[in-house]
Amino acid sequence: MKVTELLKKEKPCLSFEFFPPKNPEQEEQLFKTLTDLKKFNPDFVSVTYGAMGSNRERSFFWVSEIKNRFGIEPVAHLTCVAASKNEIEKYLDELEGLGVQNILALRGDPPEGQKDFIPPADGFKFAKELISFIGKNKPGMCVGAAGFPEGHITVPDLQKDVEYLKQKIDSGAEYIITQLFFDNKYFFDFVDRCRKAGINVPIIPGLMPIIGNKQIKRITEMCGATIPKELHEKLDRFQDDHAAIKKIGAEQTLKQAEDLLKNKVSGLHFFVMNQSEPISGILKQLRI
Protein backbone atom coordinates (compact mmCIF):
# COMPACT_ATOMS: atom_id res chain seq x y z
CA MET A 1 0.00 0.00 0.00
CA LYS A 2 1.23 3.50 -0.80
CA VAL A 3 2.19 5.87 2.01
CA THR A 4 -0.29 8.41 0.70
CA GLU A 5 -3.07 5.86 1.20
CA LEU A 6 -1.82 4.97 4.68
CA LEU A 7 -1.91 8.65 5.61
CA LYS A 8 -5.65 8.77 4.87
CA LYS A 9 -6.45 6.63 7.91
CA GLU A 10 -8.30 8.27 10.76
CA LYS A 11 -5.50 7.66 13.26
CA PRO A 12 -2.02 9.17 12.93
CA CYS A 13 0.39 7.14 10.82
CA LEU A 14 3.12 5.30 12.75
CA SER A 15 6.46 4.53 11.10
CA PHE A 16 10.05 3.61 11.89
CA GLU A 17 13.42 3.98 10.19
CA PHE A 18 16.12 1.30 10.24
CA PHE A 19 19.59 0.99 8.77
CA PRO A 20 20.95 -2.21 7.16
CA PRO A 21 23.07 -4.26 9.61
CA LYS A 22 26.73 -4.84 8.75
CA ASN A 23 27.43 -8.13 10.54
CA PRO A 24 25.61 -11.19 11.96
CA GLU A 25 25.31 -9.64 15.43
CA GLN A 26 23.64 -6.53 14.03
CA GLU A 27 21.37 -8.71 11.88
CA GLU A 28 20.23 -10.60 14.96
CA GLN A 29 19.60 -7.30 16.71
CA LEU A 30 17.51 -5.98 13.82
CA PHE A 31 15.41 -9.15 13.65
CA LYS A 32 14.69 -8.75 17.35
CA THR A 33 13.89 -5.05 16.94
CA LEU A 34 11.51 -5.69 14.06
CA THR A 35 9.80 -8.48 15.98
CA ASP A 36 9.37 -6.27 19.04
CA LEU A 37 8.14 -3.20 17.16
CA LYS A 38 5.78 -5.10 14.86
CA LYS A 39 3.54 -5.48 17.92
CA PHE A 40 2.72 -1.77 17.60
CA ASN A 41 1.33 -2.27 14.06
CA PRO A 42 3.46 0.29 12.20
CA ASP A 43 1.97 1.55 8.96
CA PHE A 44 5.36 1.47 7.23
CA VAL A 45 9.08 1.33 7.90
CA SER A 46 11.89 2.87 5.89
CA VAL A 47 15.35 1.44 5.26
CA THR A 48 18.35 3.72 4.78
CA TYR A 49 20.83 3.55 1.95
CA GLY A 50 24.56 4.04 2.53
CA ALA A 51 26.98 6.51 1.00
CA MET A 52 28.55 5.43 -2.30
CA GLY A 53 25.87 2.75 -2.57
CA SER A 54 28.00 0.74 -0.16
CA ASN A 55 25.06 -1.13 1.36
CA ARG A 56 22.53 -0.97 -1.46
CA GLU A 57 22.28 -4.76 -1.70
CA ARG A 58 21.76 -5.08 2.06
CA SER A 59 19.28 -2.23 2.02
CA PHE A 60 17.20 -3.86 -0.71
CA PHE A 61 17.50 -7.25 1.03
CA TRP A 62 16.00 -5.80 4.20
CA VAL A 63 13.30 -4.00 2.24
CA SER A 64 12.29 -7.43 0.92
CA GLU A 65 12.52 -9.06 4.38
CA ILE A 66 10.38 -6.36 5.95
CA LYS A 67 7.71 -6.77 3.30
CA ASN A 68 7.66 -10.54 2.96
CA ARG A 69 8.81 -11.91 6.31
CA PHE A 70 7.34 -9.29 8.63
CA GLY A 71 4.39 -8.19 6.52
CA ILE A 72 5.10 -4.47 6.99
CA GLU A 73 4.98 -1.96 4.16
CA PRO A 74 8.57 -0.88 3.34
CA VAL A 75 9.82 2.46 2.08
CA ALA A 76 13.13 2.16 0.27
CA HIS A 77 15.60 5.04 0.44
CA LEU A 78 17.19 5.99 -2.87
CA THR A 79 19.90 8.63 -3.28
CA CYS A 80 21.79 10.46 -6.00
CA VAL A 81 25.15 9.38 -4.57
CA ALA A 82 27.50 7.38 -6.82
CA ALA A 83 24.82 6.26 -9.28
CA SER A 84 24.25 7.10 -12.93
CA LYS A 85 20.79 7.41 -14.42
CA ASN A 86 21.13 3.94 -15.92
CA GLU A 87 22.08 2.47 -12.55
CA ILE A 88 19.16 4.20 -10.82
CA GLU A 89 16.84 2.85 -13.49
CA LYS A 90 18.11 -0.66 -12.72
CA TYR A 91 17.60 -0.06 -8.99
CA LEU A 92 14.04 1.02 -9.64
CA ASP A 93 13.41 -2.13 -11.69
CA GLU A 94 14.83 -4.20 -8.83
CA LEU A 95 12.63 -2.50 -6.25
CA GLU A 96 9.58 -2.89 -8.45
CA GLY A 97 10.40 -6.59 -8.75
CA LEU A 98 10.46 -6.81 -4.96
CA GLY A 99 6.95 -5.38 -4.84
CA VAL A 100 8.05 -2.04 -3.41
CA GLN A 101 5.57 0.79 -3.93
CA ASN A 102 7.21 3.51 -1.85
CA ILE A 103 10.52 5.36 -2.16
CA LEU A 104 12.06 8.16 -0.13
CA ALA A 105 14.12 10.08 -2.69
CA LEU A 106 17.14 11.92 -1.30
CA ARG A 107 20.16 13.71 -2.64
CA GLY A 108 22.26 11.89 -0.09
CA ASP A 109 25.23 12.98 2.01
CA PRO A 110 28.76 13.28 0.64
CA PRO A 111 30.85 10.18 1.37
CA GLU A 112 33.01 10.31 4.49
CA GLY A 113 36.05 12.50 3.91
CA GLN A 114 34.36 14.46 1.11
CA LYS A 115 33.21 17.94 2.13
CA ASP A 116 30.90 18.79 -0.75
CA PHE A 117 28.44 16.68 -2.70
CA ILE A 118 29.83 15.86 -6.15
CA PRO A 119 27.18 14.56 -8.56
CA PRO A 120 28.19 11.37 -10.37
CA ALA A 121 28.78 11.30 -14.10
CA ASP A 122 25.44 11.07 -15.88
CA GLY A 123 23.70 11.21 -12.52
CA PHE A 124 21.71 13.75 -10.55
CA LYS A 125 22.80 16.79 -8.59
CA PHE A 126 19.53 17.42 -6.75
CA ALA A 127 16.81 15.29 -5.15
CA LYS A 128 14.20 17.04 -7.30
CA GLU A 129 15.85 15.56 -10.39
CA LEU A 130 15.76 12.07 -8.89
CA ILE A 131 12.11 12.54 -7.91
CA SER A 132 11.19 13.61 -11.43
CA PHE A 133 13.11 10.66 -12.90
CA ILE A 134 11.27 8.18 -10.68
CA GLY A 135 7.93 9.70 -11.66
CA LYS A 136 8.69 9.34 -15.37
CA ASN A 137 10.09 5.81 -15.13
CA LYS A 138 7.86 4.36 -12.41
CA PRO A 139 4.69 6.48 -12.35
CA GLY A 140 2.99 3.96 -10.08
CA MET A 141 5.44 4.44 -7.25
CA CYS A 142 4.75 6.78 -4.34
CA VAL A 143 7.69 9.11 -3.71
CA GLY A 144 8.48 11.01 -0.53
CA ALA A 145 11.00 13.77 0.17
CA ALA A 146 12.99 14.94 3.17
CA GLY A 147 12.21 18.20 4.97
CA PHE A 148 14.40 20.15 7.36
CA PRO A 149 12.63 22.05 10.17
CA GLU A 150 15.79 23.99 10.99
CA GLY A 151 16.90 24.21 7.36
CA HIS A 152 19.35 21.98 5.53
CA ILE A 153 22.87 22.35 6.86
CA THR A 154 24.02 23.69 3.46
CA VAL A 155 21.14 26.18 3.17
CA PRO A 156 21.20 28.68 6.08
CA ASP A 157 18.27 30.70 4.68
CA LEU A 158 15.06 29.03 5.92
CA GLN A 159 12.87 30.56 3.24
CA LYS A 160 15.25 29.46 0.50
CA ASP A 161 15.25 25.98 1.99
CA VAL A 162 11.46 25.83 1.71
CA GLU A 163 11.68 27.05 -1.89
CA TYR A 164 13.95 24.10 -2.66
CA LEU A 165 11.50 21.78 -0.93
CA LYS A 166 8.66 23.20 -3.04
CA GLN A 167 10.66 22.27 -6.12
CA LYS A 168 10.80 18.67 -4.88
CA ILE A 169 7.03 18.64 -4.39
CA ASP A 170 6.47 20.19 -7.81
CA SER A 171 8.69 17.43 -9.24
CA GLY A 172 6.36 14.77 -7.87
CA ALA A 173 7.02 14.14 -4.17
CA GLU A 174 3.75 13.30 -2.42
CA TYR A 175 4.69 13.53 1.26
CA ILE A 176 7.49 14.80 3.49
CA ILE A 177 9.36 13.15 6.36
CA THR A 178 11.36 15.62 8.39
CA GLN A 179 14.84 15.55 9.80
CA LEU A 180 15.04 15.07 13.57
CA PHE A 181 14.44 18.03 15.90
CA PHE A 182 14.20 18.45 19.67
CA ASP A 183 12.03 21.56 19.92
CA ASN A 184 8.56 21.24 18.39
CA LYS A 185 8.50 24.96 17.65
CA TYR A 186 10.95 24.30 14.82
CA PHE A 187 8.50 21.79 13.34
CA PHE A 188 5.41 23.97 13.65
CA ASP A 189 7.24 26.98 12.18
CA PHE A 190 8.47 24.75 9.35
CA VAL A 191 4.95 23.55 8.57
CA ASP A 192 3.73 27.15 8.59
CA ARG A 193 6.46 28.17 6.09
CA CYS A 194 5.59 25.20 3.90
CA ARG A 195 1.87 25.97 3.82
CA LYS A 196 2.52 29.62 3.02
CA ALA A 197 4.77 28.48 0.15
CA GLY A 198 1.96 26.36 -1.31
CA ILE A 199 3.24 22.99 -0.05
CA ASN A 200 0.09 21.09 0.84
CA VAL A 201 1.28 17.46 1.05
CA PRO A 202 1.34 15.60 4.39
CA ILE A 203 4.34 16.45 6.59
CA ILE A 204 5.43 13.70 9.00
CA PRO A 205 7.67 14.75 11.90
CA GLY A 206 10.80 12.69 12.48
CA LEU A 207 11.78 11.95 16.09
CA MET A 208 14.95 10.36 17.46
CA PRO A 209 15.12 9.18 21.07
CA ILE A 210 18.56 9.98 22.47
CA ILE A 211 20.44 6.84 23.53
CA GLY A 212 23.95 8.26 23.88
CA ASN A 213 25.40 11.69 24.64
CA LYS A 214 28.35 11.57 22.25
CA GLN A 215 26.27 9.89 19.57
CA ILE A 216 23.53 12.52 19.48
CA LYS A 217 26.03 15.38 19.49
CA ARG A 218 27.79 13.81 16.51
CA ILE A 219 24.49 13.33 14.68
CA THR A 220 23.28 16.88 15.32
CA GLU A 221 26.61 18.32 14.19
CA MET A 222 26.23 16.42 10.93
CA CYS A 223 22.62 17.41 10.26
CA GLY A 224 22.48 20.85 11.86
CA ALA A 225 19.73 20.07 14.39
CA THR A 226 19.73 22.04 17.66
CA ILE A 227 19.81 20.51 21.12
CA PRO A 228 17.92 22.91 23.43
CA LYS A 229 19.99 24.38 26.26
CA GLU A 230 18.10 22.64 29.07
CA LEU A 231 18.33 19.26 27.34
CA HIS A 232 21.99 19.86 26.53
CA GLU A 233 22.76 20.56 30.20
CA LYS A 234 20.94 17.41 31.31
CA LEU A 235 22.90 15.28 28.88
CA ASP A 236 26.20 16.77 30.04
CA ARG A 237 25.25 16.28 33.68
CA PHE A 238 24.70 12.54 33.16
CA GLN A 239 27.08 12.00 30.25
CA ASP A 240 28.70 8.87 31.77
CA ASP A 241 25.45 7.36 33.02
CA HIS A 242 24.05 5.50 29.99
CA ALA A 243 20.83 4.49 31.75
CA ALA A 244 20.15 8.08 32.77
CA ILE A 245 20.85 9.34 29.22
CA LYS A 246 18.36 6.84 27.78
CA LYS A 247 15.77 7.89 30.35
CA ILE A 248 16.28 11.57 29.51
CA GLY A 249 16.05 10.76 25.80
CA ALA A 250 12.84 8.77 26.20
CA GLU A 251 11.22 11.49 28.31
CA GLN A 252 12.17 14.12 25.72
CA THR A 253 10.75 12.12 22.82
CA LEU A 254 7.56 11.24 24.71
CA LYS A 255 7.00 14.91 25.54
CA GLN A 256 7.49 15.89 21.89
CA ALA A 257 5.27 13.08 20.58
CA GLU A 258 2.40 13.92 22.94
CA ASP A 259 2.50 17.57 21.88
CA LEU A 260 2.67 16.68 18.18
CA LEU A 261 -0.31 14.32 18.45
CA LYS A 262 -2.24 16.97 20.37
CA ASN A 263 -1.66 19.27 17.39
CA LYS A 264 -3.05 16.71 14.90
CA VAL A 265 0.09 15.76 12.96
CA SER A 266 -0.22 13.32 10.05
CA GLY A 267 1.89 10.76 11.86
CA LEU A 268 5.05 10.07 13.82
CA HIS A 269 8.24 8.73 12.24
CA PHE A 270 10.82 7.34 14.67
CA PHE A 271 14.52 6.99 13.88
CA VAL A 272 15.00 3.90 16.03
CA MET A 273 18.74 3.24 15.51
CA ASN A 274 17.82 -0.47 15.27
CA GLN A 275 16.88 -0.62 18.96
CA SER A 276 13.39 -1.46 20.17
CA GLU A 277 13.65 -0.71 23.89
CA PRO A 278 13.39 3.12 23.88
CA ILE A 279 10.61 3.20 21.26
CA SER A 280 8.60 0.42 22.93
CA GLY A 281 8.48 2.32 26.21
CA ILE A 282 7.46 5.53 24.48
CA LEU A 283 4.72 3.90 22.40
CA LYS A 284 3.24 2.07 25.40
CA GLN A 285 2.77 5.44 27.09
CA LEU A 286 1.42 7.09 23.94
CA ARG A 287 -1.09 4.27 23.43
CA ILE A 288 -1.23 4.62 19.65
List active site positions: 17
- Maximum pairwise Cα distance, the chain: 52
The type of residue at 8 is K
Question: For residue 235, how many other CB atoms are within 10 A of its CB?
Answer: 21
Whether the Cβ atoms of residue 104 and residue 112 lie closer than 8 Å to each other: no
Of 174, 165, 176, 183, residue with least CA distance to 225: 183
Cβ atoms < 10 Å from Cβ of 284? 12
The whole-angstrom separation of Cα 108 and Cα 174 is: 19
The closest of 205, 174, 199, 214 to 271, measured between CA atoms, is 205
Tell whether the torsion through CA atoms of 51, 115, 162 and 190 is positive or negative: positive
Q: How many residues does the chain have?
A: 288
Q: How far is CA 151 from the centre of its chain?
A: 15
To which H or E segment does residue 79 belong? strand 74-79
